[in-house]
Structures are given as structure tokens and as C-alpha cells.
């Protein structure tokens, strides 16, 4: 009698292996055979579950973005705390930012798979900032969508460019603390809370 198959456990292994593979090699450079080997899964099973490599990448990235959204909900009324939590998350999970950058390199300004769902995801975050602006908690000087975009960039850039952070900012704990304080200060200024 053969082993009992657990499709959810197999999918979880595939997602973990695919996340590491795509973060390291991007969509074009990733190899399904390496993902299958790392996940102890059949290559044909990966195609059966996900259709193709681009769809697997898209689903992996969407899952990772949802994990971030659940772990670090947007808090427009506490930009210091939100920025701190976001920077900590990106430092602990640098593969997420790598996946986002690979997506940008692969698709450029063209459409991405499941773009409408991604728009809805970010629309909910934008709405949090718009509501805080309407309540007068933060300044309406910068449109909510632009504000969200800039704050995400501020919080993630050190993870995106670790070599620039090391060269420009430095590598000590004091350097990291100073940068974090500067990013918080910039976020407060952008939100009008400075």
C-alpha cells in the first residue's frame, strides 16, 4: 500500500521551494525541476496544480503579499509604528522584496497576472490613508495613493539595496538605528505629523 498523499502539504512545500527559487533567479531564470526537487514533488504535479511557471510565480507572490498584509496591517494613524513593523518584516523576509523586484523586471510597465486582484489589495490600503486624511489625522497634502507608494519605498529600500545601505549608511547597529529614525522622520513629514 502506497503512502497517503497530502495535497495541501505538497502545495506548501512547492510554495516554499518556489518562493526561494523565484527570489534567487526571477521568473525567467527559475527552473521547475529545481523547485520539484527541493519540494520533493513531481514536476508534472506542479504543472497540474499551477499551469505554468508564470502562474506559479504569480500565486507565490500573491500569497507572500497576503502574508505581509495580515502580519503588518496598514496603520496610517501610527506611521512610526507601521514603518518600524514594515522594515522589520522586510529585513526578516527579504525574499518578498526580491520577488516584487523580479516581477517588475519581468513585466515592466505592462500588465501583470491577476492585476485586478492586486489593485483591490492596494486599494484597501489606500483607503486607510484616505480615511485618516479625511478625519484630519494625517495631512491631505499628498494624495493617499502617492503617500502609500512613497512610504512603501522608504520602508523597503534598505532591503532592496543592501549593498547601497552598507556603503552609504554603514553596517553597525548604530547605523541601522539612525537610518530607521530617519525613515520614521521622513514618514512623519510625508504624513504631516512632524
- Give 75's Cβ-side CA count (13 Å radius): 14
How far apart are the C-alpha atoms of 46 and 70, rounded to whole Å?
A: 26
CATH number, domain 72-194: 1.10.357.10
CA distances from 132 to 37, 74, 144, 187 (A): 48, 11, 9, 14
CB count, 10 Å around CB of 29? 10
The model's pTM is 0.86
How far apart are the C-alpha atoms of 55 and 86, rounded to whole Å?
A: 27
pLDDT tens digit at each of 194 positions of the chain: 444 568 888 899 999 999 999 999 999 999 999 999 999 999 999 999 998 999 999 999 999 999 999 999 999 989 889 999 999 999 999 999 999 999 999 998 889 998 999 999 999 999 999 999 999 999 999 999 999 999 999 999 999 899 999 999 999 999 999 999 999 999 999 999 86
- 74-103: buried (b, 16+ CB within 10 Å) or exposed (e) per residue? bbbbebbebbbbbbebbeebbbbbbbbbbb
- Give 188's Cβ-side CA count (13 Å radius): 11
Looking at the chain, the domain(s) classified CATH 1.10.10.60 span 1-60
Which CATH number among 1.10.1040.10, 3.20.20.80, 1.10.10.60, 3.40.50.300 corresponds to the domain 1-60?
1.10.10.60
Amino acid at each position: 500500500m502506497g503512502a497517503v498523499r497530502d495535497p495541501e502539504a505538497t502545495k506548501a512545500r512547492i510554495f516554499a521551494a518556489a518562493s526561494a527559487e523565484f527570489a534567487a533567479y526571477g521568473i525567467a531564470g527559475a527552473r521547475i525541476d529545481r523547485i520539484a526537487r527541493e519540494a520533493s514533488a513531481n514536476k508534472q504535479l506542479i504543472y497540474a496544480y499551477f499551469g505554468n511557471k508564470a502562474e506559479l510565480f504569480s500565486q507565490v507572490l500573491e500569497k507572500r503579499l497576503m502574508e505581509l498584509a495580515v502580519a503588518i496591517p496598514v496603520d496610517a494613524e501610527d506611521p512610526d509604528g507601521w514603518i518600524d513593523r514594515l522594515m522589520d518584516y522586510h529585513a526578516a523576509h527579504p525574499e518578498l522584496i526580491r520577488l516584487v523586484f523580479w516581477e517588475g523586471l519581468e513585466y515592466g510597465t505592462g500588465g501583470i497576472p491577476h492585476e485586478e486582484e492586486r489593485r483591490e489589495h492596494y486599494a484597501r490600503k489606500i483607503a486607510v490613508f484616505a480615511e485618516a486624511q479625511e478625519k484630519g489625522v494625517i495631512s491631505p497634502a499628498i494624495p493617499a495613493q502617492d503617500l502609500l507608494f512613497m512610504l512603501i519605498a522608504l520602508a523597503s529600500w534598505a532591503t532592496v539595496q543592501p549593498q547601497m545601505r552598507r556603503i552609504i549608511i554603514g553596517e553597525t547597529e548604530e547605523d541601522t538605528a539612525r537610518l530607521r529614525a530617519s525613515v520614521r522622520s521622513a514618514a512623519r513629514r510625508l504624513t504631516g505629523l512632524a
